[in-house]
Amino acid sequence: MISLKNVSMVLTAAGRSVRILEGISLVIPAKQMVAIVGPSGSGKSTLLGLMAGLDRPTTGSIELDGQDITTLSESRMAHVRREKIGYIFQSFHLIPTLTAIENVAVPLELSGERQAGMRAAELLTAVGLSDRMGHYPVQLSGGEQQRVAVARAFACRPPILLADEPTGNLDSTTGASVIDLLLSLHRDYGTTLVLVTHDPTLAALMQRVVSMRDGCLESDTLPSYSIVIDESPIAATPLDQVFSPDRASSDAIPESRS
């Protein structure tokens, strides 16, 4: 469960204090699928980063499974992130000196996976990049980098997946396959999904839509035409074929922004 209580965030830019978030209180139960929507600049990425402990709020508390993460040391927070959170950054944050397959293998190696390379290859194949594994990020298109970032965030099957516009740079076909993967992760493993998106199709697939405006929560609703994914054959790639069944649910994720 993710719980935010009266969270605010004030940053300084050009010598002036800017209030980015104000009075955000939000509880996301385990296994829920939530879309965060709102205009550009409304604070969506900032809010997602706070949930991952990548930044600290100016005031308020944020709990992950009952633990207040705003008071943790950097190293303790990195440990919690490794165990609990997969994060897909709006701007990918792939490691430029590593190839696609090496980028995906990093969290697997950190988690002690012995066949990290093989599993990274399976994941990249699942996102349609079997022919780009040896490419460096600079040699990949924006959409291809995004898919590598998605595969990396999935790699250790985290219980919470936070994704900042995971389909933002993808064409409709590739976007649909990434959405399939996200929904499969929820269906097969009960992953909590919190997705920032401008895509109404993706938002409508979530169980709940939280809308932001000017740093505040504007509305919090069920989409009118949400679907029941448990009964839907949405997934094109069964995750059992991607994830071995004996993997612990508390594996690692990349722990830094880069």
Ligand X SMILES: Nc1ncnc2c1ncn2[C@@H]1O[C@H](COP(=O)(O)OP(=O)(O)OP(=O)(O)O)[C@@H](O)[C@H]1O
Binder of residue 20, out of Mg ion, ligand X, none (CB less than 5 to 8 A by kind) = ligand X
Q: Of these, 45, 174, 192, 207, which contacts Mg ion (CB under 5 A)?
A: 45
Q: Does 44 bind ligand X (CB under 6 A)?
A: yes
215 is written with which tokens? 């740093």
Question: How many other CB atoms are found less than 10 A from the CB of residue 200?
Answer: 12
CB under 6 A: which stretch of 37-45, 73-81, 119-127, 234-242 binds ligand X?
Answer: 37-45
Q: Of these, 13, 97, 114, 245, which contacts ligand X (CB under 6 A)?
A: 13
Q: Does 174 bind ligand X (CB under 6 A)?
A: no
Mask for 58-97, x = binds Mg ion (CB under 5 A): --------------------------------x-------
Q: For residues 109 and 249, what is the distance between their CA atoms, to the nearest angstrom?
A: 15
Q: Does 43 bind ligand X (CB under 6 A)?
A: yes
Placement of tokens 């509305």 in the chain: 219
Q: Does 46 bind ligand X (CB under 6 A)?
A: yes
Q: Does 41 bind ligand X (CB under 6 A)?
A: yes
CA dihedral sign of residues 131, 134, 139, 145: positive
Closer Cβ to ligand X, 21 or 242, answer by number: 21
The one-letter amino acid code at 81 reads R
Pick the closest to residue 133 from 144, 143, 142 (CA basis): 144
End-to-end CA distance of the chain: give it in Å, rounded. Answer: 26
Burial of 186 (0-12, 13-18, 19+ CB in 10 A): buried
Q: Does 20 bind ligand X (CB under 6 A)?
A: yes
3-class secondary structure, 185: helix
**Which residues, listed in sequence order, are joined to residue 62 by a DSSP beta bridge?**
4
Least spacing, CB of residue 125 vs ligand X, in Å: 30
Task: Considering only CA atoms, give the Rg of the chain.
Answer: 17
Site for ligand X in 74-103 (CB under 6 A): 90
Sheet of 85-88: strands edge to edge?
85-88, 160-164, 192-196, 33-37, 208-213, 216-221
Closer Cβ to Mg ion, 90 or 207, answer by number: 90
Q: Does 142 bind ligand X (CB under 6 A)?
A: no
CB under 6 A: which stretch of 25-33, 42-50, 64-72, 219-227 binds ligand X?
Answer: 42-50
Closer Cβ to ligand X, 20 or 193, answer by number: 20
Of all residues in this chain, which one has the CB nearest to Mg ion in the complex? Answer: 45
Binder of residue 43, out of ligand X, Mg ion, none (CB less than 5 to 8 A by kind) = ligand X
Q: For residues 25 and 168, what is the distance between their CA atoms, to the nearest angstrom?
A: 26
